[in-house]
Protein backbone atom coordinates (compact mmCIF):
# COMPACT_ATOMS: atom_id res chain seq x y z
CA UNK A 1 0.00 0.00 0.00
CA UNK A 2 2.81 2.44 0.77
CA UNK A 3 4.18 2.29 -2.79
CA UNK A 4 0.81 3.23 -4.27
CA UNK A 5 0.38 6.03 -1.74
CA UNK A 6 3.79 7.36 -2.77
CA UNK A 7 2.79 7.23 -6.43
CA UNK A 8 -0.42 9.14 -5.78
CA UNK A 9 1.43 11.79 -3.79
CA UNK A 10 3.91 12.22 -6.63
CA UNK A 11 1.10 12.09 -9.20
CA UNK A 12 -0.60 15.10 -7.66
CA UNK A 13 2.42 17.16 -8.67
CA UNK A 14 2.48 15.94 -12.29
CA UNK A 15 0.49 17.65 -15.04
CA UNK A 16 -0.41 15.81 -18.22
CA UNK A 17 0.30 12.12 -18.70
CA UNK A 18 2.70 10.04 -16.60
CA UNK A 19 3.61 6.40 -16.09
CA UNK A 20 5.23 5.40 -12.79
CA UNK A 21 6.90 2.02 -12.32
CA UNK A 22 8.29 0.79 -9.01
CA UNK A 23 10.36 -2.39 -9.27
CA UNK A 24 10.91 -4.22 -5.99
CA UNK A 25 12.27 -7.67 -5.31
CA UNK A 26 9.45 -9.93 -6.48
CA UNK A 27 6.94 -7.20 -7.38
CA UNK A 28 6.08 -4.41 -9.79
CA UNK A 29 3.85 -1.47 -8.83
CA UNK A 30 2.39 0.59 -11.66
CA UNK A 31 0.45 3.84 -11.90
CA UNK A 32 -0.67 5.54 -15.13
CA UNK A 33 -2.09 9.07 -14.92
CA UNK A 34 -3.70 11.20 -17.57
CA UNK A 35 -4.62 14.79 -16.71
CA UNK A 36 -4.06 13.98 -13.02
CA UNK A 37 -6.65 11.18 -13.16
CA UNK A 38 -5.78 7.55 -12.42
CA UNK A 39 -6.24 5.51 -15.58
CA UNK A 40 -4.51 2.34 -14.38
CA UNK A 41 -2.98 1.23 -11.11
CA UNK A 42 -1.87 -2.27 -10.17
CA UNK A 43 0.64 -4.29 -8.17
CA UNK A 44 1.98 -7.55 -9.58
CA UNK A 45 3.86 -10.25 -7.67
CA UNK A 46 6.59 -11.57 -9.98
CA UNK A 47 8.49 -14.83 -9.56
CA UNK A 48 10.46 -14.93 -12.83
CA UNK A 49 11.10 -13.16 -16.14
CA UNK A 50 8.22 -14.93 -17.87
CA UNK A 51 5.78 -13.55 -15.30
CA UNK A 52 7.33 -10.10 -15.65
CA UNK A 53 6.81 -10.18 -19.43
CA UNK A 54 3.24 -11.44 -19.00
CA UNK A 55 2.32 -8.65 -16.57
CA UNK A 56 4.07 -6.03 -18.67
CA UNK A 57 1.97 -6.99 -21.70
CA UNK A 58 -1.13 -7.17 -19.51
CA UNK A 59 -0.44 -3.65 -18.29
CA UNK A 60 0.15 -2.21 -21.78
CA UNK A 61 -3.27 -3.24 -23.10
CA UNK A 62 -5.44 -1.02 -20.86
CA UNK A 63 -2.99 1.87 -21.16
CA UNK A 64 -3.07 1.86 -24.96
CA UNK A 65 -6.83 1.23 -25.02
CA UNK A 66 -7.62 4.15 -22.68
CA UNK A 67 -5.13 6.63 -24.14
Q: pLDDT tens digits, residue range 1-59?
A: 455 566 667 767 778 888 888 888 888 888 888 887 888 888 889 999 999 889 888 87
Identify whether the C-beta of residue 41 lies closer than 8 Å to the C-beta of residue 31. Answer: yes
Which DSSP helix (H) or strand (E) runs through 62?
A: helix 49-66
Question: Sign (positive/negative) of CA torsion 58, 60, 64, 66?
Answer: positive
Q: How far apart are CA 48 and CA 40, in angstroms?
A: 23
pTM, to two decimals: 0.69
Amino acid sequence: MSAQCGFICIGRKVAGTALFLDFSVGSLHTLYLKDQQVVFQQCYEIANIEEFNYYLLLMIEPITYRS
